[in-house]
Structures are given as C-alpha cells and as structure tokens.
Structure 1
Amino acid sequence: MSANKHSSEDVAISLTLAVVTSSPAPLLLLDGELTIIAASTSFCSVFDADAAQLAGQPLYALDDGKWDNSQLRSLMTTTLAGDGAADAHDINLQRPLRPVQHLIVQARQLDYLEQPRILVAVSDVTHARADTTLKEEAARENRILLQEVRHRVANSLQIIASVLLRNARTTTSEETRGHLENAHHRVMSVAALERLLSTSGDGDIEVHAYFTQLCESISASMIGDVDQISLIVEGGDGVVEARVSVSLGLIVTELVINALKHAFPDGRPGKITIDYNFHGPNWILCVRDDGVGMPLTAPVRTGLGTSIVAALARQLHALVETTPKHPGTQMSITHTQVALVEGEPEAAGEPRAAVRPASGAIGS
C-alpha cells in the first residue's frame, strides 16, 4: 500500500513537472521552503535564465536578490498559510542594466501532493502598461486640442454674431432686421455651447448652466429693460451629451425669441420660464410665458421658428405640444423612452417620435 502511495506521488510530481516545464506561460514550481524545483521554458526566455541553474535556487535569490521585495514576500506568506486564493500582486522588478519590468504574480498551493508545492505564475505586463500610458497621454492631448478648437470656434461664432447684429442695426428694412437678429441669436446659441464645451472635461453639458448662459445672451441683445421682461431658468439639474445640448439650445433660442416677439405686445411686462426636468431616461423641456396667450381663432403658424423647432424635436425623437395657459402659453418638448402612464410600456431604446405642429404666441 505504501509503495502504491509513493508511486502515485511520483506520478503526480512527474506530471506536474512536465506541465510546468512545457507551459507557454512563465511558471515556477517551488517547494515548501520556496526553493525552485522547476521553471517553464517561457519563464527562462522572459527572464534570460537557465532552467538547470534555476533548480535549487531560493526564490528570493533570483537575479542576485532582485526578486526579494515586500510584495512578493506578502504573496508567498499568504499562499503558504493556506488562507484561500491569494490575490495577484503587482511587482516591479529592477535588474542591473535593464529597464524596470512590471510583473503580475500569482501563487497557488498544489493540494494533490503530500509535500508542500507552490505553483507561481508570472505575467510581464511592461509593454501593455507602456501602451496604456501612451494611449492615455494621446487621449489627454486630444482632449486639450479639442477644447482649444472649441474655444476658437466659440470666438469665431461670436465674431459672426456681432457682424450680424451690427448689420441688423444699420439696415433700414424691418424684415431684414428681424432675420438678421434671429440669425444672430441662433449663432450665439451655438457659441454659448462651444464655450461650455471648451471648459468641459468629458464633453457633457450641465443643462442649467447652459440655459442660464444662453438666456443671459438673449436678454442682453433683445431685452432692453430686464425689469420689464425676465428670463428665468428652472430645473435642469443634470448633464446631457453635447449633440443633444445643441438641439436643446437651439429649441430654447427659437421659443424664447418667438415669445419675446408675440407674447408681450405694446410694452406689456412679463416673464418667460425655461424648465427642463429628467425622469430617468425620459425628459421634458418647457418654455412658458405669462403673456397675452393664443387667440382661440388664430390660424396655426408655420413660420421658420416652428419649422426649426419641429425638425430639432424629430432629431431628438420628441413630441412637441402647445398648451394655452391662463395667462400665457406653454410649449413642451417631451422625450419618452420608457412609458410612465397607463397602457403598454414602450420598449427601451424605441423612443416615441411624433411631432405636432406648434402654433400660437410661442410657435411662430
């Protein structure tokens, strides 16, 4: 029985040695004293060692003691204690006249052998980490370049907007003046976005800050007396992607301009409120005024502002709806990705995409 037991042990050791030495991965087989029994051909190739010379060496004596460090000792202590599978340890190996090697080392006890045997796997991730570092540096440089480009774009757009506004003030045609002023506000909407993007690290836009800056720009150029008509931003505590914020900003610009044109005739004072709220994947943008409201018999307006809002809403898969208020008018742009009302819920990723023509005081 004893002979059979020793025979089984010998067979297990022989198989282990065969697996270790032929492994394509860098492996070491150690005894309970952390002395090297065998090393894989891959280990010898990676670390320029001779398998015959490695056998019988203490682990910590490798490369004249360069493997003797606190991380490796901690790993081996945990492995010998048998306290479960030890986590992989990151080890920096500094050998004479060579660059630092970044290693990931794992160790396991072989439970099927009577004598303590430890299998050590070593992965050299030096090149992988160098590639990651280079990619991260390139990404950082690209972000800086993109922010600089956006800053320059914002400056260029402001110059264009200034030219449009100057021409609007000098033209004698009321119709031309209106078109130039509208073009000025649309350009300023995109300029405000580019200005925010130039200072945003991740490319997302904080909605409240964007709408506030946008309304300040519109107020400065279109509202002579801020005590007469005020623009107020509510909600918007969150971020959206830059591509979405472009459409939202242009929609707000159109609706605010239209409200200023039609909601407060004859010097009537009032207030325009921009409200943006998230409900999970759903959101709603409302622009409402407390102006004269929509005459019940007024025909549906289909001007440029209405067309722009409708087109932008379609891009966002949103529903446009005009609601009479007392006083005033409210325009709502609603994006519903997950239905929150009675009936069959819509599948995520299939947002409702219907646009209703806008009309009345805000929708011209």
Structure 2
Amino acid sequence: MSNNPTVHFEAASTLAVVVSSNEPLLFLTDDQKVIAASASFCRAFDIDPGTVCGRRLSELGNGEWAMPKLASLLKATASGSANIEAYEIDLQRPNHKTRQLVVNARTLDDGDFDHVRLLLAVADVTDARAETRLKDDLVRDKAILLQEVQHRVANSLQIIASVLMQSARKVQSEEARGHLRNAHHRVMSIAALQRQLSTSHGGNVELRHYITQLCQSLGASMIADPGRLSIEVTVDNSTVEADVSVSLGLIVTELVINALKHAFPDERTGTIVIDYRSSGKDWTLSIADNGIGMAVGGQAPKTGLGTGIVEALVKNLQAEIRLSDADPGTVVTISHHEPPGLQTNRYTTAEELNGLQSTVPSEPATLPTPIK
C-alpha cells in the first residue's frame, strides 16, 4: 500500500463503504483475494466475517465459490478486457437449496494506482425467479381454463342454434318461424364472434381476419346459392381492443343479415361489401349492397330490434351513422372522428353489452331496410 496519506484515506473510506453496505459486496485484489466483505454478504451466505479477509474467493465458505467460469471472468475484468454484467450463477452449498445469483463486477479506483481492485456485487434472485415462474404457471393455467370455457360456450351456442332451427321447422305460424330463424342467425353470429375472439392474443383483434371469418360464417348459414349472393370484405391492417371488435362485429352482423333478408327479393343477384378504414383514432366502417335500395314513405317497414341494436352500438362507440342511396342499393356508413386533444377511453365493454336494451334510443333513426 502506498504511504501517501491521501491515498490511504481514500482506501480506508472504500473499505468502510463496502463493509457497511446493505448490498452483498466483495472488495477483491486482482488475484481474487478478499480485501473486505459487506456484512450483508456474510449474512446472506452464512460466512463468518472473521474468516473472510485475506482469503481467496474460491476458499470462502466450504469452497462453494470456487467457480472456474466466475474466476475466469474476474481475471478478464481485472485485466481490463471484460466486465461482468448481470452474469448468472448457481450457488450450491451442502445442506442448502441451490440459490440463483446475479453478479456484476468492475475495476475500482481505490487510490492505489499500483494495484487493481475489483468490486463484486452479488444479488440473490432465487425468490424473485420462483415468483415469476409461479405467475407464469398461473397465467398458463388461466389460459387453459379460459380455452376450456370457450369450448363449452361454443358447444352451448351450437346446441341453442340447433334447438331454434328444429323449433322453426315444427311451428305452423310463418311469423313464429321467421322469428325463430332470426334468433338462429343471431346465435350463429354470436358463435362466430366468440370463435374469432377466442383465437385473439394480447387483448387486440386484427380486424381483417376477424371480419372476414365472421362474414364467411354468415354467408355459410344464410346464403343458399353463393352464385346468386356474395359478401366481400375490404379491411385495412387495423387492430382494435377485443371489446371494440365485439361492437363492430355485432354491427356488421346485424347489417349483413338485414341486407341478405331485404335487399335482394325475388331471387335477385347481388353483392354486399364491408369496408373498414382507420387513420389514427379516426375510423370508418361501411356496409354497402347493390340491392333494391331504400324503402321510403308508406312502403318503409317498421323499425325492428336489429335497428335498435345497431343504433345503441354506434352510440356506445361514440360514432355516427349515415345512410345513402348507392343507386342501386344502399350504403350504411358508421364513422368515428376523434375530437382534437381528446383522449378516448375504451368503447364498449362486454358487461355494457348485457345492458344494451336500456341504451336503445326511444326514437332511432330509420335504417334503409329495417332489421327485424
């Protein structure tokens, strides 16, 4: 050690800092002899503080610190050719569980320029890693349980749809048969929504695949002759939260069902086109058909439940609905424009959908061909 009193004072200060540290620290020479150890290091690893100073790192405890890889890294650090950054090691001691440690080491200017000093910091992450594994296991178990619930929901919806269709075949009243068929279509559309949402990850839904699959399901259940009627989907790369996708999916379902039922009477041929575009938080959804167009005046049927559902969903999405004549056919456009400087919350939650009827406006605007 140099006789320079200033350098000696700095070295003594370093020793004091190391010994009193609340973190497990070792102050080492370049040949890995212990100059000082913090009390927390000795306490954490059951080492007698009186036996530490002057011993090599590999001799501490019962020799459990004799790790060739750690020794090699410390030698490289002392030479200036490497640094130990968050190096993970397993500490194995007799009659103790293996501990997972993260070590960091660097050279330290202790004021003695003739000798290299190393400061080794040790963190025991065993409990933290165990907690992380437990959380991962819980998440995995939850995912498995959720998947099982989704399968049960899908099976239940299929059973309900089957019962509705069987009932529709048995009843004599044409009006009752129509109501049962409408209910069947809605249950099938909800089943399609549930099936798509069950495959989404991270809480977000990619709309192109989602709406495409939904419309394929609707077409399969309602279009008897694909050569006469078809559904086309043009959607950009937008992704939305699952709750928002539910509302958009229900809107698409109701308007597509409406067009299939009313826009193409007398075996007319035609196409329904669903388009979705977004820019930032602004978005536009349109459902267009080239059917017979809007009925007006006394020829317009009364508004139905579907109209109220669509209007309520549009309201909850903080959007506007606009009807226009496509000549031929009809276009329903739903658009949301974010006011400048306004941060919008999530739109519609699944719980809010359960209370949807209470939000239906008492005097809804008339859709082109009211949804029954």
**Normalising TM by the smaller chain, what interval?**
0.7 to 0.9
Contact 2:251 2:313 in 1 (8 A): yes
Letter in 1 for 2:344: G
Measure, in 2, the Cα distance between the counterparts of 1:109 and 1:361: 79
Number of the residue aligned with 1:328? 329
Cα displacement string for residues 310-347 of structure 1 (whole angstroms, at most 9, x for unaligned residues)? 1112222222222221221111222333x6xxxxx343
Number of the residue aligned with 1:12? 10
Aligned residue for 2:230, secondary structure, equals strand
After the TM superposition, which of the residue ranges 292-301 and 43-52 deviates more from structure 2? 292-301
Measure, in 2, the Cα distance between the counterparts of 1:127 and 1:351: 37
Measure, in 2, the Cα distance between the counterparts of 1:216 and 1:155: 19
Q: How does 1:150-161 map to 2 (within 5 A)?
A: 150-161=150-161
Measure, in 2, the Cα distance between the counterparts of 1:362 and 1:239: 30
Number of the residue aligned with 1:342? none
Q: Does 1:349 align with 2:341?
A: no
Unpaired runs of 5+ residues, structure 2, are 349-360
Q: How does 1:147-296 map to 2 (within 5 A)?
A: 147-235=147-235, 237-295=237-295
After the TM superposition, which of the residue ranges 147-156 and 160-169 deviates more from structure 2? 160-169
Measure, in 2, the Cα distance between the counterparts of 1:75 and 1:165: 73
Aligned residue for 2:308, secondary structure, equals helix
Q: Does 1:361 align with 2:369?
A: yes
Unpaired runs of 5+ residues, structure 1, are 340-344
Cα displacement string for residues 174-227 of structure 1 (whole angstroms, at most 9, x for unaligned residues)? 332232222222221221122234444545434333333332332233222111
Aligned residue for 2:101, secondary structure, equals strand
Cα displacement string for residues 112-144 of structure 1 (whole angstroms, at most 9, x for unaligned residues)? 421422221111000010010011011111011
Measure, in 2, the Cα distance between the counterparts of 1:57 and 1:70: 17
Measure, in 2, the Cα distance between the counterparts of 1:352 and 1:89: 46
After the TM superposition, which of the residue ranges 249-258 and 65-74 deviates more from structure 2? 65-74
Number of the residue aligned with 2:316? 315
Aligned residue for 1:87, secondary structure, equals strand
Aligned residue for 1:266, secondary structure, equals coil
Measure, in 2, the Cα distance between the counterparts of 1:97 and 1:26: 21
Measure, in 2, the Cα distance between the counterparts of 1:172 and 1:236: 46
Number of the residue aligned with 2:355? none
Measure, in 2, the Cα distance between the counterparts of 1:64 and 1:351: 59
Measure, in 1, the Cα distance between the counterparts of 2:72 and 2:322: 66
Q: Does 1:62 align with 2:60?
A: yes
Q: 1:243 to 1:105 in 2, by over 3 A?
A: same
After the TM superposition, which of the residue ranges 295-304 and 101-110 deviates more from structure 2? 295-304
CA shift, 1:358, in A, is 4.7
After the TM superposition, which of the residue ranges 43-52 and 222-231 deviates more from structure 2? 222-231
Cα displacement string for residues 248-277 of structure 1 (whole angstroms, at most 9, x for unaligned residues)? 221111101111122112221111112223
Q: 1:233 to 1:181 in 2, by over 3 A?
A: same
CA shift, 1:83, in A, is 6.2
Q: 1:87 to 1:44 in 2, by over 3 A?
A: same
TM-score (norm 2): 0.85
Aligned residue for 2:4, secondary structure, equals helix
Number of the residue aligned with 2:354? none
TM-score (norm 1): 0.87
Aligned residue for 2:85, secondary structure, equals coil
Contact 1:91 1:103 in 2 (8 A): yes
Number of the residue aligned with 1:47? 45
Q: 1:77 to 1:309 in 2, by over 3 A?
A: farther
Q: 1:242 to 1:229 in 2, by over 3 A?
A: same
After the TM superposition, which of the residue ranges 46-55 and 212-221 deviates more from structure 2? 212-221
Contact 2:291 2:329 in 1 (8 A): yes
